[in-house]
Amino acid sequence: MDISQYLNVFMDECREHLQTLNQVLLELEHNPDNSSLLDQIFRAAHTLKGASATMGFNKMANLTHAMEDVLSKLRSKEVNVTPEIVNILFEAVDLLESLANSIASGKEEDIEINGIVQSLRALTVMQPTPISAQPERRTNLQLRYTEIEKEPIVQALKEGTKLYHIEVTLSENCLLKGVRVFMVLREIEKFGIIVKSAPTLKDLEDEKFDFRFVLGVLSSSAVEEIVNPISNIVEVEKVVCEEIELNNIPIEKRIQTVESEDRSKISSVQTVRVDIKKLDVLMNLVAELVISRSRLESISAAIQNKQLDEVLEQVGRLTLELRDNVFKARMVPVETVFSRFPRLIRDLSRELKKEIDLEIYGGETELDRTVIDEIGDPLVHIIRNAADHGIESAEERLQKNKPEKGKIILKAYQEGNGVVIKIIDDGRGFDIERVKEKAVSQGLVSREALALMKDEEILEFTFLPGFSTAKQITEVSGRGVGMDVVKTKVNALGGFIKINSKFGEGTTIEIRLPLTLAIIQTLMVQLGNEVYAIPSGYIDQIISINKKDIKQVRQQDVFTLRGEIVPLIRLQHVLDTPGALNESFEELDVVVLKTGDRLVGCVVDGLMKQQDVVIKSLGDYLGTVKGIAGATILGNGKVALIIDIRAVA
């Protein structure tokens, strides 16, 4: 039986079980007497053992088996939950994660597990190993068939196939019964078809049997051809094979209600695993449909046909509904990322010798899978910095009349067409004066210019490569790397990041991300002979101003909006667009954009319409072009460039 086809399913389930182990072990550390937590951990480890053994990943199976022994002692109260045991279990989970990653890359043999396995076994040596010297034997393992099961068997026997009942007895010292069962099944499937088993195949997989099981097999092979390979399997003690004649097929007189219940449960499954690549293909098809809809709208506007307009309206509505449903199918709760941080904070607290609480809110907030996959590492950088540089030592916090235990809050919520993630700590905050001195000493800014800058602008120096205000380098942070990587990654995802901090009180880092990277709503604008798309999520408002209302401050055009001075830029200068006409206009169309707390006005020649557009990259030939985030295809077949608002602002 080829198991490679099941590898992706195994890896998905493996990561789910590892996540469960991490989360529940954290809870067990704080509630060591909670037996239900131990049950959850045991079930996850047991299931992972069975799955890895079936797949042939012996190192993972052996490690989880060692964990299972320790957990059994804990569940039976033979051993009490202690910090030492929890730490060793965490080390085992870390090693399981390394094994999972190595399995995905095909290099499981490179991971050494003997050290941690010996540590786990050392926790149980003080207790007698065998619970019972002679396990209870099941005396009734006879196979019986229902009338429905009998029909195809009778037909096969009439065609010359033979029905064998094969009883297999494993050694009582067998540790991984599930592995041996899998090996037996694999050998039998080379010669025939397994039609029934006692116990059921599910119970065999879960090791819910003593050391014997019986299989009903349809095969054209001789008895010796089937029995000999099974007998040669390690820890198979005995194999007995009996051929069942047509007239002697044992019948189950009572219909098994349990089986029918199981089938009804299977039929009511509400979810299905889908490869993310299939969703990517579906998203691309929807994107092409959006482009085709725009083309139809252009044709409809040209020929003015009422019937076509009606059909187009319906197609447009269905396209939007399809797009929204594909979006929802790709959405993943940020909890999938947030769930790794309680463990991170626990380890950092121990490493830094600080007491830190982590509070998480809004884990149910959803983001596109592509965004979720990329945002994890930037958040790790920020949280490590908050724990190392932000949160003070217990002594320092007591001197400042703060609670001895520091606090980090991780919060997510949806706002408009995007998601906001905030990382808040109640630590020492950024020392603005140190940031200023560092910026001047590195030649990043003059003292005169620094005096005119707001605190928020000064804090943005911390995003520059190699910029760090840490007084000493630690194993956690302080090398001047990290925050520049964070900003680069966030910008690549179409988002932006900002810092608010009060020295002595704490820091808030805010990340704003788009819900998806595939299709966005835009405002189409005219500039010379070119059409540009401005993402609607950044638009604060659209206004018209007179040339007379434009002033100059420090050689920058500005205008006043609601009592606030707003910089004014002409997009043709930023994008190097020839033929722009707004230089000669008395009344100017201005699109006011908002990035964070900042406003900026962009002058355009004319406003066209709102339109959903499909983002296409510029390709390797053009690469990165300043001020341009990508391109899209319009209804008339022409290309419109999508403006990168962060670069413009």
The span from the CA of 464 to the CA of 480, in Å, is: 9
* Chain Cα centroid distance, residue 535: 26
Closest CA to 153 of 535, 314, 144: 144
pLDDT of residue 257: 41
Q: Place 261 in a pLDDT band, splitting at 50, 70 and 90.
A: very low
For 220-242, what is each residue's pLDDT tens digit? 988 888 898 898 888 888 999 98
Mean pLDDT of 95-107: 83
Looking at the DSSP bridge assignments, the partners of residue 410 are 360, 423
User: Is pLDDT at 5 greater than 90 in this prediction?
Assistant: no
Burial 327-349 (b: 16+ CB within 10 A, else e): beebbbbbbbbbbebbbbbbebb
Mean pLDDT of 354-379: 89
User: Is pLDDT at 151 greater than 90 in this prediction?
Assistant: no
pLDDT of residue 256: 43
User: Is pLDDT at 627 greater than 70 in this prediction?
Assistant: yes
User: Is pLDDT at 21 greater than 70 in this prediction?
Assistant: yes
User: Is pLDDT at 335 greater than 80 in this prediction?
Assistant: yes
pLDDT of residue 362: 92
For 407-423, what is each residue's pLDDT tens digit? 999 999 988 778 899 99
Extract the tokens encoding 582.
């707004």
pLDDT of residue 172: 81
User: Is pLDDT at 135 greater than 60 in this prediction?
Assistant: no
Residues 6+ apart with CB under 8 A from 246: 154, 157, 158
For 419-464, what is each residue's pLDDT tens digit? 899 999 999 999 888 888 888 888 888 888 888 788 888 888 888 8
The CA-based dihedral angle spanning residues 231, 233, 235, 238, taken in that order and rounded to the nearest 10 degrees: -10
User: Is pLDDT at 268 greater than 80 in this prediction?
Assistant: no
pLDDT of residue 356: 92
For 527-583, what is each residue's pLDDT tens digit? 888 889 998 878 889 999 988 888 888 788 889 888 888 899 888 888 888 888 888
The span from the CA of 341 to the CA of 588, in Å, is: 49
Burial 620-642 (b: 16+ CB within 10 A, else e): eeeeeeebbbbbbbbbeeeebbb
| Of 96-105, 127-136, 205-214, 268-277, the least confident | 127-136
Q: Are 263 and 282 in contact (CB under 8 A)?
A: no
The span from the CA of 218 to the CA of 212, in Å, is: 20
Closest CA to 438 of 461, 422, 407: 461
- Stronger pLDDT, 332 or 629, i.e. the higher one: 332
pLDDT of residue 473: 54
User: Is pLDDT at 262 greater than 60 in this prediction?
Assistant: no
Helix ranges restricted to H, 222-368: 223-231, 257-267, 276-303, 306-330, 335-338, 341-352
Report the side by side order of strands in the sheet with 556-561: 539-546, 587-595, 598-604, 564-570, 556-561, 551-553
- Stronger pLDDT, 134 or 551, i.e. the higher one: 551
Highest mean pLDDT among 266-280, 472-486, 548-562: 548-562
DSSP 547-570: GGG-EEETTEEEEEETTEEEEEEE
For 48-61, what is each residue's pLDDT tens digit? 888 888 777 888 88
pLDDT of residue 269: 46
Mean pLDDT of 500-522: 84
The span from the CA of 181 to the CA of 162, in Å, is: 22
User: Is pLDDT at 132 greater than 70 in this prediction?
Assistant: no
pLDDT of residue 518: 66
Extract the tokens encoding 345.
């904070």
Residues 6+ apart with CB under 8 A from 649: 593, 595, 598, 600
Closest CA to 590 of 562, 570, 560: 570
Pairing of strands 598-604, 564-570: parallel
User: Is pLDDT at 134 greater than 80 in this prediction?
Assistant: no
The span from the CA of 221 to the CA of 189, in Å, is: 12
User: Is pLDDT at 255 greater than 70 in this prediction?
Assistant: no
For 583-604, what is each residue's pLDDT tens digit? 888 888 999 988 767 889 999 9
Which domains, and CATH codes, for the chain?
Answer: 4-122 (1.20.120.160), 147-252 (3.30.70.1110), 276-332 (1.10.287), 334-514 (3.30.565.10), 519-648 (2.40.50.180)
Single-letter amino acid, residue 582: N
pLDDT of residue 554: 78
pLDDT of residue 520: 77
Mean pLDDT of 340-352: 90
Q: Are 379 and 491 in contact (CB under 8 A)?
A: no
pLDDT of residue 3: 55
Q: Phi first, then psi: what are they for 376, rounded to 5°?
A: -60, -50
User: Which CA distances in Å does 269 have to 58, 264, 266, 333, 383?
Assistant: 31, 9, 6, 21, 38
User: Is pLDDT at 620 greater than 90 in this prediction?
Assistant: no
User: Is pLDDT at 366 greater than 70 in this prediction?
Assistant: yes
Extract the tokens encoding 392.
């003070």
The span from the CA of 206 to the CA of 200, in Å, is: 10
Provide the mean pLDDT of the chain: 82
Closest CA to 100 of 3, 1, 12: 12
Q: Are 174 and 190 in contact (CB under 8 A)?
A: no
The span from the CA of 112 to the CA of 116, in Å, is: 9
DSSP 405-454: SEEEEEEEEEETTEEEEEEEE-S----HHHHHHHHHHTTSS-HHHHHTS-
Closest CA to 562 of 589, 536, 532, 592: 592
Catalytic residue positions, numbered: 46, 68, 385
pLDDT of residue 425: 94
User: Is pLDDT at 404 greater than 70 in this prediction?
Assistant: yes
Looking at the DSSP bridge assignments, the partners of residue 79 are none
Greatest pairwise CA separation for the chain in angstroms: 105
Mean pLDDT of 483-512: 87
